């Protein structure tokens, strides 16, 4: 029958789209679950580690379980040893980070705002940036001595390059319309940089600070391995040398904690300073 054929071959049919009973419960559940997992995931990792050691799958002399480290951790805290190393490392990072970030944002802004400066410096930055900073640490020690200054400098140099790159990216991606607004209000060049360019580039600059915080830890710990008598990196390396594996793990865990803390701190700074940034909007 032709009608039958028409029905099956040519005439379409109504396809129903099923409604959902979910008016937002799923999204709410996902958000709660993720917040819970953020707290729990490090604990689960520690638990797995504990089980692996307790089952004897790894040599506990080389990989002590978390429960074995707790005592060592307590001893190091009680003796003031941990705080001595931690505080000196924090000072080195703070000083190096501060000056490296200021210099990096300044140079990055100049490169982004003044094409001449960008043309001169960008090939230099591009070629020096990938050199591991720890590779030039011997030279830094020759120039700045074995004391604190060489640690400040190596951290500052590492932070500097990350901040230059992120600042240039942020500054040169400022939307043209904002510069047009500045010029239409006859804003001076200098004022335009501080009132328009830098605020607009701030999300990228803060993203740079976030990366730099991790990088400064990385570089400092390596520098303390080879050229220091104190600091959290020295604690790790020295403990390994004397085969005090538990103290070494305490050092490693503290470094991990510092990385987490710097992220959390920058998140908070970002929420306060950039309420308008897309990711912070409610």
- What number of helices (H) and strands (E) belong to the chain? 12, 0
Question: CA 215, CA 221: separation in Å to the nearest integer?
Answer: 10
CB atoms within 10 A of CB 244: 14
CA distances from 6 to 2, 9, 11, 15, 122 (A): 6, 5, 6, 18, 69
Q: Does 257 bind another protein (CB under 8 A)?
A: no
- Span 195-224, contacts to another protein by CB under 8 A: 195-196, 199-200, 202
CB 154 within 8 A of CB 219: yes
Q: Judged by CB under 8 A, which stretch of 53-61, 95-103, 157-165, 182-190 contacts another protein?
A: 182-190
Which range, of 31-39, 93-101, 184-192, 238-246, touches another protein by CB under 8 A? Answer: 184-192
Using CB under 8 A as the binding rule, whether residue 80 contacts another protein is answered as no
d(CA 104, CA 12): 64
Work out how close the CB of 181 gets to another protein at its nearest, in angstroms, rounded to a whole number.
Answer: 5
Nearer to another protein, 13 or 279 (CB): 279
* 275 lies in the site for another protein, by CB under 8 A: yes
| Distance, CA of 222 to CA of 207 (rounded, Å) | 23
Q: Which is nearer to another protein, 23 or 177 (CB)?
A: 177
Q: How many residues bind another protein (CB under 8 A)?
A: 22
Name the site residues for another protein (rule: CB under 8 A): 177-178, 180-188, 191, 195-196, 199-200, 202, 274-276, 278, 281
């Amino acid at each position: 029958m032709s009608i039958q054929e028409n029905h099956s071959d040519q005439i379409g049919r109504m396809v129903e789209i099923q409604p959902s009973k979910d008016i937002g419960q799923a999204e709410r559940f996902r958000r709660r679950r993720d917040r819970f997992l953020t707290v729990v995931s490090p604990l689960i990792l520690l638990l797995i580690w504990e089980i692996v050691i307790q089952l004897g799958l790894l040599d506990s002399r080389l990989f002590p379980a978390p429960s074995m480290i707790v005592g060592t951790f307590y001893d190091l805290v009680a003796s003031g040893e941990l705080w001595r190393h931690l505080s000196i490392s924090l000072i080195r990072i703070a000083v190096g980070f501060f000056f490296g970030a200021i210099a990096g944002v300044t140079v990055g802004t100049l490169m982004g705002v003044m094409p001449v400066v960008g043309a001169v410096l960008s090939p230099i930055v591009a070629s020096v940036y990938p050199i591991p900073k720890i590779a030039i640490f011997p030279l830094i020690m020759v120039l700045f001595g074995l004391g604190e200054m060489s640690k400040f400098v190596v951290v500052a140099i590492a932070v500097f390059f990350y901040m230059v790159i992120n600042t240039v990216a942020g500054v040169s991606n400022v939307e043209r319309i904002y510069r047009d607004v500045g010029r239409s209000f006859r804003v001076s060049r200098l004022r335009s940089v501080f009132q328009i360019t830098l605020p607009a580039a701030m999300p990228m600059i803060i993203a740079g600070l976030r990366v730099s915080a991790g990088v400064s830890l990385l570089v400092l710990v390596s520098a303390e391995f080879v050229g220091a008598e104190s600091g959290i990196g020295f604690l790790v390396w020295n403990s390994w040398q004397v085969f005090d594996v538990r103290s070494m793990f305490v050092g490693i865990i503290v470094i991990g904690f510092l990385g987490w803390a710097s992220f959390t701190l920058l998140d908070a700074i970002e929420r306060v300073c950039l309420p308008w940034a897309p990711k912070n909007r409610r």
